Amino acid sequence: MPGNKKALNWRLITALALIALIRPFMSILGISEAIGKPAASITATIIISLIWITAVFIKNEKQPVLTLVSAGITYAVMAIIISGILSPVLTGTLQGPLTNPFALVSILLTNIVWGLITGGIAALLLKIR
């Protein structure tokens, strides 16, 4: 890597992606429905976002935006794979993003934007630190 840029912290990226898997597992386990679908998803997203920003801030990551975009992409790939494994087991047929190329692109883009937003907030907080 060039001079002053630190390599990405893939342990942190993977840990943050795994934390984000709380959202789909809340849905799979029926927790989102029990709490109320939009409120549960929004609340989980806010909490996960705060965890991501806090972790990057505490770790004093040199590339917070790239770190959280990478966490978003890693989470998206994990969620797609889990959906591909669990949907046939739970419903008997393959369902979800693997059956729809537009859904694949949408999931990846959504999580890239999520990483950009949270990474931008973390970068701002690191600058004013």
| CA–CA separation, 47 and 82 (whole Å) | 22
Give the type of residue at 101: P
Say if 107 falls within a structural domain.
yes
| CA–CA separation, 76 and 24 (whole Å) | 11
Say if 104 falls within a structural domain.
yes
Average pLDDT, the chain: 92
Say if 5 falls within a structural domain.
no
Indicate left, alpha or beta for 95 from its phi (over 0: left) and psi (-120 to 50: alpha): beta
Residue 6 — very low, low, confident or very high, per pLDDT cuts 50/70/90? Answer: confident
What would the two tokens of residue 93 be?
A: 């047929």
Looking at the structure of the chain, the number of domains it has is: 1
What would the two tokens of residue 87 be?
A: 């949907």
| CA–CA separation, 5 and 2 (whole Å) | 6
Q: Domain range for residue 35?
A: 10-128
Q: Model confidence over 83-119: pLDDT tens digits?
A: 999 888 988 989 888 999 999 999 999 999 999 999 9
Q: What is the pLDDT of residue 5?
A: 63
Say if 65 falls within a structural domain.
yes
Say if 14 falls within a structural domain.
yes
Q: What is the pLDDT of residue 29?
A: 83
Of 39, 2, 44, give the one whose Cα is nearest residue 24. Answer: 44
Q: What is the pLDDT of residue 30?
A: 84
| CA–CA separation, 20 and 24 (whole Å) | 8
Say if 43 falls within a structural domain.
yes
Say if 73 falls within a structural domain.
yes
The backbone torsions φ and ψ at residue 19, rounded to the nearest 5 degrees and listed phi first, read -60, -40
Whole-prediction pTM: 0.89
End-to-end alpha carbon distance in the chain: 26
Say if 3 falls within a structural domain.
no
